[in-house]
Amino acid sequence: MPDGLRILVIHPHIQLFGGSEVLTRILVSELSDLGHEVIVLSSGVAEDVVKLKNIKFEVIRDVFSKVPTDFILSMRTERIINIVYTVDEVLNRYKPDVCLVMIQEPIYVIATKLADPKMGTALYIHYPFEEELTSNNVYVFLTLYRFPHTYENLYKLADLHMTNSNYTASALYRSFGIESNVVYPAISWEYFRNQFDLSEDRKDIILTVGRFVPQKRQDVLLDWFKRFIKPEVPDAELVIIGMPDMRFLNYYDRLKKLSSEVEGVTFIDKVLTPDEMMKYYRMAKVYIHLRLGEHFGMAPVEAMSQGAIPILPEQSGLAELVTNGRDGYIARNDEEFIKYLIKLMKTPNQELINMRNFAYRRAWYFNPDRLAKEVLHYLKIISKK
């Protein structure tokens, strides 16, 4: 592609399996397919990304592995020096046209500007504050080259800002006075490739997907299922899918115990392939997401693409996904979550099919081609090329 860009994409931990990491891999893959050259910089290797065409992969160098052991700096300072050194090296080696940081860490913008003050930089902000930070897990963030609650006031140093929802854009503007361009995330093409029967009758299966962290409130859902759902719908089943988070292992252990004590619960604590996920999405009558203040989420879109009807919190970016009562429900409080769960369990099949069709059509907007082309539109504004 003669007019293709050479893009430096930075995500400090693309090798993990959270939403921002998966989204970055989807974007990098689509940019590559569109003929652009992408240099990925992270703290660890993502094997599926390394195999893509038009991709160069670089890992943040540990400068201090060659420094005498009596030369002592704080872990944060060491990490920052590693970033500055590596970004300078990568920019000199590949000479990209533009830099995109795919997470809300302005330290990577600063490092890029130090190496090349004329380099256009864009920040993709999932939410302007780290909501899962505790005094006990700061170390984990630092090991992953993350610096929460440290450099947020430097967001303005980026030349351009993108956010994943109007909810996040509003938070960024209220807190920092920064206007941003909303670019909704995308899910993998694999969720759109196979046809299936949207009119097929489904069992009374409730599904939720998300990392096992307290903010996702899987423990609350288990309690509701036992006390409110089962008495109303005896055949109801609950499927909880997620991954343990090293920062909240006590919560994960508690969830495992609670799940084993409630009849009709399936608890899956491992990474599933898209094909495996699609099997569960297509089984589910209802997808529910309980986290309040969720900036966005890919699992609800994946669920809708496979015909599961979502129930989502009003206080979140997820509320932008659906029109209440047409392709899902928006709950204003816990009582409404419970009400809509029971309602969907008892809704006649033809009404469910109508909602399912609307949800399926809505999900198509969140495809990788749309994501990549919107991102490219903004990158070209600040690119050297």
Residues 6+ apart with CB under 8 A from 89: 61
Residue 69: predicted pLDDT: 61
Mean pLDDT of the 49-59 span: 88
Rounded Cα distance, 60 and 1, in Å = 29
Residue 359 CA neighbour count, 13 Å, CB half: 31
Range scoring the smallest mean pLDDT among 67-76, 141-150, 191-200, 330-339 = 67-76
d(CA 88, CA 78): 16
Share of the chain above pLDDT 90, in %: 77
pLDDT confidence of residue 190: 93
Question: 225 phi and psi, to 5 degrees?
Answer: -60, -45
Give CA–CA dist 333/314, Å, rounded: 8
Percent of the chain with pLDDT over 70: 97
| CATH code of domain 190-363 | 3.40.50.2000
Listed in sequence order, the residues at least 6 apart from 192 whose beta carbon sits closer than 8 Å to its beta carbon are: 305, 364, 367
> How many CB atoms sit inside 10 A of residue 375's CB?
23
| DSSP track, 91-123 | HHHH--SEEEE-SS-THHHHHHHHH-TT--EEE
pLDDT digits (tens, 9 = 90+) for 219-258: 999 999 999 999 999 999 999 999 988 888 899 999 999 9
- Is the pLDDT at 194 greater than 90, yes or no? no
**pLDDT at residue number 152:** 84
Domain assignments of the chain as residue spans, ordered by start = 6-186+367-382, 190-363
> What would the pLDDT profile of 170-181 be if each residue is shown by its tens digit?
999 999 999 999
Give the helix, strand, coil percentages of the chain, each rounded to 5: 45, 15, 40
pLDDT digit string, tens, across residues 1-35:
457 999 999 999 999 888 899 999 999 999 999 99
Residue 131 is predicted with a pLDDT of 74
CA neighbor of 1 nearest in space, from 29, 28, 36: 36
Q: What average pLDDT does range 42-62 have in this prediction?
A: 89
Residue from 372, 377, 376 nearest 186 by CA: 372
Q: Which of 284, 275, 312 is nearest to 297 (CA)?
A: 312
Residue 384 has phi, psi (to 5 degrees) of -70, -25
Q: Looking at the predicted structure, is the pLDDT value of residue 205 above 90?
A: yes
Task: Write down the CATH number for the domain with range 6-186+367-382.
Answer: 3.40.50.2000
- Asked whether the domain spanning 190-363 has the same topology as the one spanning 6-186+367-382, the reply is yes
